[in-house]
Structure 1
């Protein structure tokens, strides 16, 4: 079993302060310590890593190439430590539990607030941490235990203990610039998008969703001309507003459209899963059970509407 090197953790924290302040004196003030011990600890860190982390001159301190290379990983490490400290404080303060939630942007706008309202009502001492993710990040994070539940675009079985419930579906529509000829139509045929550049949600963000939309286009006789691949529906609408093509989006996203973008329904009835709850059944958590119970109720309402 490897022993945690707390001295290294402290030294990395010091390295981050100096890297961000670009000055040993200011970094020492930020860390509530004097400068000589800070300088000494950075030197010890450099010796243990066998690399120079900073270039020092009369004009100040700047990162060396090696220091710049490790900075992103150290920054990510510091964020994880801060998250751990926050959870520990919440639990120590008497909170009854912590729930780590990941969600795509559209789910953060619609589904997650509804869940939080219900959880606050039933479990007033529960602490819920929400972070934005891409759909493709959900499964690895659930498997690793970094997330308890995820609200993503997911359709069909995943395996490895990951289970899911479709929570919301919506009719597919098209977002077009207000001055585009298609904006004059009350409904748009999919086939009419054959020669129009499209702004699509990136395949690397949500492979199943990208492949579904591509298959829909092909079934209507054309291969989509993808001009841009972006990370979210909100980005799709923003690109459309900048005249960068049109986008296939859920009809409910009309509430996000700016004044220069209109959402027109398709003539074809194509339904898409806009949010699904995913969780790891191999990791037992009573709070996850509560979320799944809530989700089953929401899914039942969706089926009733359908």
Structure 2
């Protein structure tokens, strides 16, 4: 039997944990503070643990509260997906396809893919979630998303498959007052003495190892000072004077005024977006979007 009281209490717990303040959480939830406090206390009593420490500064999670927070967040996301599916079913829609995508894919690759998919499947609701490339594999394995558009290459595991969709010329992001900024294109060997901001190996081991291999083939071992989770963060670190970065050339459109993006010479191309899915789930909607992706792939 579904314990709706527990579900509500967990929802309230999540609101307080996010706001770190009972008053702010109550206001956001459209309720007064005393009932919120009482229901959190009831949750603590039922779980037999203290979830928050209260002070004038607000509400801080205890060790027990921090331990259950990730599971409660995931539960809340699943409830939202269930609620969406129910609403769509009532409205006569035939299903929901959940796509996780990195920011760059949402700008270039995803919009035309969704447009064509909706033409062929007008009764399907497409739900988009922003993810990092590092989130793609665990989200697919957990069933949190149906399809991922991310920077992925190589072996993703026994059950996951992928197709490269887009590739770009590799470029160097550097401060606009850097001596190399005067060049229209930059040779990779010119970065031998530079400090590099790289996309983390945890995000994409194949991509990271490929870039390191390129540097070594050009006669130097890269001096990697920072490893970050996204290309946008690489550019942000360059903007803050933390080094230079190897990024897709299209980042020149999004770079701040104090950062320039110069292409590598000779030209080097890298996969910037791949579409990945769980081959064992046998979802006709996934198969349909994969077929469209194959047709629209910019890589022969």
Aligned to 1:257: 255
Aligned to 1:125: 123
Deviation at 1:47, TM superposition (A): 2.5
Distance 2:137 2:194 in 1: 34
Distance 2:251 2:25 in 1: 47
Corresponding position: 1:210 with 2:208: yes
Distance 1:61 1:246 in 2: 40
Q: Check whether the contact 2:26–2:33 (CA below 8 A) recurs between aligned residues.
A: no
Q: Check whether the contact 2:147–2:275 (CA below 8 A) recurs between aligned residues.
A: yes
Deviation at 1:139, TM superposition (A): 1.9
Which has the larger displacement, 8-17 or 218-227? 8-17
Closer, same or farther in 2 for the Cα pair 1:188/1:124, shift >3 Å?
same
Deviation at 1:201, TM superposition (A): 1.0
Which whole-Å deviations, capped at 9, do the CAs of 1:94-127 have from their partners, x for residues lacking one?
2222111111222122111121221222222221
Aligned to 1:85: 83
Question: Secondary structure of the equivalent of 2:149?
Answer: strand
Distance 2:202 2:238 in 1: 20
Question: Secondary structure of the equivalent of 2:156?
Answer: coil
So what's the TM-score if we normalise by structure 2?
0.86
Aligned to 1:147: 145
Deviation at 1:258, TM superposition (A): 2.5
Q: Check whether the contact 2:132–2:150 (CA below 8 A) recurs between aligned residues.
A: yes
Aligned to 1:201: 199
The equivalences for 1:166-205 within 5 A come to 166-205=164-203
Closer, same or farther in 2 for the Cα pair 1:65/1:137, shift >3 Å?
closer
Closer, same or farther in 2 for the Cα pair 1:145/1:56, shift >3 Å?
closer
Distance 1:4 1:277 in 2: 36
Aligned to 1:267: 265
Closer, same or farther in 2 for the Cα pair 1:16/1:161, shift >3 Å?
closer
Distance 2:162 2:207 in 1: 15
Q: Check whether the contact 1:153–1:275 (CA below 8 A) recurs between aligned residues.
A: yes
Distance 1:28 1:137 in 2: 32
Corresponding position: 1:8 with 2:6: yes
User: May I ask how many residue pairs the two structures share in their alignment?
Assistant: 298
The equivalences for 1:49-60 within 5 A come to 49-54=47-52
Q: Check whether the contact 2:160–2:277 (CA below 8 A) recurs between aligned residues.
A: yes
User: Any unmatched runs of 5+ in structure 2?
Assistant: none
So what's the TM-score if we normalise by structure 1?
0.85
2:100 to 82, 99, 102: 102
Closer, same or farther in 2 for the Cα pair 1:110/1:48, shift >3 Å?
same
Aligned to 2:243: 245
Distance 1:122 1:4 in 2: 37
CA RMSD across the alignment: 3.0
Corresponding position: 1:137 with 2:135: yes
1:69 to 66, 70, 82: 66
Q: Check whether the contact 1:195–1:225 (CA below 8 A) recurs between aligned residues.
A: yes
